[in-house]
């Protein structure tokens, strides 16, 4: 397996994944970086704006794994097809949001092996924006719901709940156990390739 990180002259972080195997192997790789576009660890992501180019999301059970159902985002708090505040996703009346204490959900991008624009996040105060492109069929969004209070990071900054967001491009979780999900099985003689771009 090889993961290559590249920085372009036009402010793109490009991640290319490659893998081979000598036995049938399930593979589902992602990047779990946390993004705080404000540049101030005292700020949360609540006032950031987000757009996700997906008409469906995965339903999760209360055990934290997908049920296998793809649900339409329309008329739900998971509808982020238009740019809007993160807070609209944090509807604690929704069981899936409440059980995770925030967003911890996979959106269905409807592609596989074709580079698409998955999402955008904008911090209006700092004027920073990130556009996410990927060849993966899904993107998992996690709003750092479980960070314990008082965790110290770079520069002795104190991290906090919802102080950053993860935009994890990947195949759907639990794919080996749900036959109608896009396959994660890699066979001998095949080459797994995947690309994700974070453009700033």
Which H or E run contains 2?
Answer: strand 2-7
Q: What is the rounded distance in angstroms from the CA atom of residue 55 to the CA atom of residue 71?
A: 8
Residue 169, domain extent: 2-199
Q: Total structural domains in the chain?
A: 1
**DSSP codes, 58-93:** EEE-TTSSEEEEEEE-TTSTT--SS-EEGGGG--TT
| Segment 1-53, tens digit of pLDDT | 999 999 999 999 999 999 999 999 999 999 999 999 998 888 899 989 999 99
The CATH number for 127's domain is 2.70.98.10
pLDDT in tens, 83-123: 999 999 999 899 999 998 999 999 999 887 899 999 999 99
- pLDDT of 152 > 90? The answer is no
Q: What is the predicted pLDDT for the residue at 151?
A: 81
Mean predicted confidence (pLDDT) in 153-178:
91
**Given this model, what pLDDT does residue 41 score?**
81
Of all residues in the chain, what percent carry a pLDDT higher than 70? 100
First to last CA, the chain: 27
Query: If phi over 0 gives left and psi between -120 and 50 gives alpha, with beta otherwise, what is residue 52?
Result: beta
Burial of 44 (0-12, 13-18, 19+ CB in 10 A): buried
Q: What is the per-residue pLDDT for 128?
A: 97
Task: Give the chain's radius of gyration (CA, Å).
Answer: 17
183 against 159, higher pLDDT:
183
Q: What letter does residue 186 receive in the DSSP assignment?
A: E
Catalytic residues: 32, 168
> Can you tell me the mean pLDDT for 122-128?
96
């Amino acid at each position: 397996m090889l993961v290559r990180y590249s920085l372009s002259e036009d402010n793109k972080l490009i991640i290319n994944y490659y893998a081979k195997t000598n036995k049938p192997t399930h593979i589902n790789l992602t990047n779990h970086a946390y993004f705080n576009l404000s540049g101030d660890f005292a700020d949360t992501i609540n006032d950031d704006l987000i757009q996700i180019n997906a008409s469906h999301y995965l339903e999760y059970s209360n055990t934290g794994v997908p049920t296998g159902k793809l649900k339409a985002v329309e008329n739900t708090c998971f509808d982020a097809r238009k740019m809007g505040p993160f807070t609209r996703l944090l509807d604690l009346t929704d069981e899936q949001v409440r059980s995770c204490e925030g967003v911890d959900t996979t959106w269905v991008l409807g592609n596989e092996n074709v580079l698409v624009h998955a999402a955008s996040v904008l911090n209006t105060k700092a004027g920073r924006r990130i556009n996410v492109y990927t060849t993966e069929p899904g993107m998992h969004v996690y709003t750092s719901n479980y960070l314990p209070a008082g965790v110290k990071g770079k520069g002795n900054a104190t991290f906090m709940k919802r102080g950053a967001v993860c935009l994890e491009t990947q195949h759907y979780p639990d794919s080996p156990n749900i036959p109608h999900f896009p396959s994660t099985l890699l066979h001998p003689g095949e080459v797994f390739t995947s690309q994700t771009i974070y453009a700033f």
